[in-house]
């Protein structure tokens, strides 16, 4: 199981994205939070911004859509060349159809679950997705505290992935630090989004290395 560290540019300097991306080039993907001020009470950036990031980023883009009506908007991000496009389960009634469309365009398709959303309905649909994002804070803002009560969802997902042998990445997002990453890794996450703990560090590259090492050494199922 690979470990992936995806810094969130929500915590970067909004006036200097290109140089901020250069500071995190030892990461795996760059996490881009799209918020519409409707699905969540905050507004970030949209497709035009992502098209430009796609041109300058040394890392593939991991798009997290916190928006209503993803059927309308998500395909555009896949068409822009994003490596991964994740929409929220709570924002759609047709998650499988949308995931199929994203895959058809050539992106990895992800589904995100807010902390209060049950995972059960998705366990038997895992072959339709390339990633499940278990939100470890309420979506909308960076800098919040990790919600450990979301961990049972990861454990359920990890055992289903093991049972089926599918290549589905299990992502956590929100409050991931050098401490909380160990909890999430043990519960079964393999893909870690970190905003403030990476961009707030004096040396983001060193912090990425530390997160990677902590996650790997606390990997689910590892006997220590
Ligand atoms: C929250 C976003 C996160 C956010 C994480 O709604 O989806 O990606 O940037 O920020 P930290 O790591 O600061 O909790
Ligand atoms: Zn996010």
List, by residue number, the catalytic residues: 33, 173
d(CA 155, CA 162): 11
- Per-residue pLDDT at 165: 97
- pLDDT < 70 positions in the chain: 223-224
- Per-residue pLDDT at 224: 54
- Per-residue pLDDT at 202: 97
Q: What domains appear along the chain, each with residue ranges and CATH number? A: 4-221 (3.20.20.70)
Residue 164 alpha carbon to ligand 2 centre in Å: 27
196 is in an annotated binding site: yes
- The finding on whether 140 has its CB within 6 A of some atom of ligand 1 is yes
Residue 56 alpha carbon to ligand 2 centre in Å: 20
CB atoms within 10 A of CB 167: 10
Closest listed ligand to the CA of 11: 1
* CA separation, residue 145 to residues 16, 18, 31, 37, 180 (Å): 26, 28, 18, 21, 9
- Per-residue pLDDT at 20: 98
* pTM of the model as a whole: 0.98
Cβ(189)–Cβ(1) under 8 Å?
A: no
221 is in an annotated binding site: no
- Per-residue pLDDT at 223: 62
- Per-residue pLDDT at 221: 82
Cβ(131)–Cβ(108) under 8 Å?
A: yes
Residue 206 alpha carbon to ligand 2 centre in Å: 21
């Amino acid at each position: 199981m690979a470990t992936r560290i995806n810094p969130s540019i929500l915590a970067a300097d909004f006036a200097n994205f290109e140089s901020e991306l250069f500071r995190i080039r030892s990461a795996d993907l760059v996490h881009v939070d799209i918020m519409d001020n409707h699905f969540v009470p905050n507004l970030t950036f949209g497709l035009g911004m992502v098209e430009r990031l796609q041109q300058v980023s040394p890392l593939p883009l991991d798009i997290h859509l916190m928006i209503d009506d993803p059927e309308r908007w998500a395909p555009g991000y896949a068409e822009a060349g994003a490596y991964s496009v994740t929409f929220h389960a709570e924002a759609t009634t047709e998650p499988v159809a949308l995931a199929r469309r994203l895959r058809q365009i050539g992106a990895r398709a992800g589904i995100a679950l807010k902390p209060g959303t049950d995972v059960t309905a998705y366990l038997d649909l895992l072959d339709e997705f390339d990633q499940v994002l278990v939100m470890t804070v309420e979506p909308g803002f960076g800098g919040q505290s990790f919600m450990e009560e979301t961990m049972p969802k990861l454990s359920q997902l990890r055992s289903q992935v093991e049972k089926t042998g599918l290549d589905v990445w299990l992502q956590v997002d929100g409050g991931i630090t050098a401490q909380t990453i160990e909890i999430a890794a043990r519960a079964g996450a393999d893909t870690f989004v970190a905003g403030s703990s990476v961009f707030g560090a004096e040396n983001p590259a060193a912090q990425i290395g530390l997160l990677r090492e902590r996650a790997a050494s606390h990997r689910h199922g590892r006997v220590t």
